[in-house]
With several copies, the nearest count.
Chain A
Amino acid sequence: MRRSAIVTRAIDPATLMAEVQSTEFGAISVFAGTVRDTNDGRSVTAIDYSAYTSMAESELESILAEAQDRFGVMGIVAEHRVGTLAIGDVSVAIVAAHAHRGPALDCTRFVIEEIKKRVPIWKREHYADGAREWVDPTARRVATT
């Protein structure tokens, strides 16, 4: 089975684990991204995630299809949340299940790396000092001290 979604509600990794679970699988690998309270040394209070939703949905689905093809037939579910997230909220969760642990672990890593490269989602961090900035992972980091 395979399912992916861009969602505007809370993500519950345990629900996704239950969704992929099947007696044919012996290994489940989960990755969850959460909102940290610090980034590049700045105190973060919240993050706005925005997406080019229709394309994000199709890119995410393509990534899962590629993962299934690459690591063998398996159960895989991924959700990415958009909107304003608080510290500790889950922004993304990926669950991969397989008969064996190797492909399940490889699959989860593959999916998060591909999401980071090509799913059109952006984030704007809110800082404790009131500033808000779009995050550009390709930008050179400037020392702030």
Chain B
Amino acid sequence: MSTVTVQLFASYVESFGGPTLEIPLDPGSTVGDLVHSIRSLPGAYVLPESPRVAVNRRFASFDQVVDPRDEVALIPPVAGG
């Protein structure tokens, strides 16, 4: 089984204890599967009901399939401006 690197930002770095997560990935796994795996980690209590995930720098839907080489990021509620 391969893994995918998930980038973390802002408060999530503190909640999950580091700037990235390595998440196991079955072939054909989706963003939704990834979020499901992340929910089992310590620190996941900070996640909202539907966390936003970016794949290759674009917001992704939960049914998008994830490749291990994708650039994946878990996006905390944005607060720019």
Direct contact of A and B (CB under 8 A): yes
Q: Which residues of A contact B (CB under 8 A)?
A: 33, 49-52, 54-56, 58-59, 80, 91-92, 101, 112, 115-124, 134-139
Contact A58 B57 (CB under 8 A): yes
Contact B81 A115 (CB under 8 A): yes
Q: B9 near A: Cβ within 8 Å?
A: yes
B81's partner among A91, A124, A138 (CB-CB below 8 A) is: A91
Q: Which B residues touch A80, using CB under 8 A?
A: 80-81
The prevalent SS among residues of B at the interface is loop
Q: Which A residues touch B79, using CB under 8 A?
A: 121-123, 134-137
Q: B42 near A: Cβ within 8 Å?
A: no
Q: Which A residues touch B73, using CB under 8 A?
A: 52, 55, 120
Q: Which B residues touch A33, using CB under 8 A?
A: 81
Q: B30 near A: Cβ within 8 Å?
A: no
What size tier do the contact residues of chain B reach?
Answer: 10 to 19
**Given known A54-B57, A55-B57, A138-B48, contact A120–B77 (CB-CB < 8 A):** no
Contact B54 A55 (CB under 8 A): yes
Q: Which residues of B contact A (CB under 8 A)?
A: 7, 9-11, 48, 54, 57-59, 73, 75-81
Q: Which B residues touch A136, using CB under 8 A?
A: 11, 76-77, 79
The prevalent SS among residues of A at the interface is mixed
In the assembled complex, 27 residue pairs joining A and B whose CB atoms fall closer than 8 Å, in A order, are: A50-B9, A50-B10, A52-B57, A52-B75, A59-B57, A92-B80, A92-B81, A115-B81, A116-B81, A117-B78, A118-B78, A120-B73, A120-B75, A120-B80, A121-B79, A121-B81, A122-B9, A122-B10, A122-B11, A122-B80, A123-B79, A123-B80, A134-B10, A136-B77, A136-B79, A137-B79, A138-B77
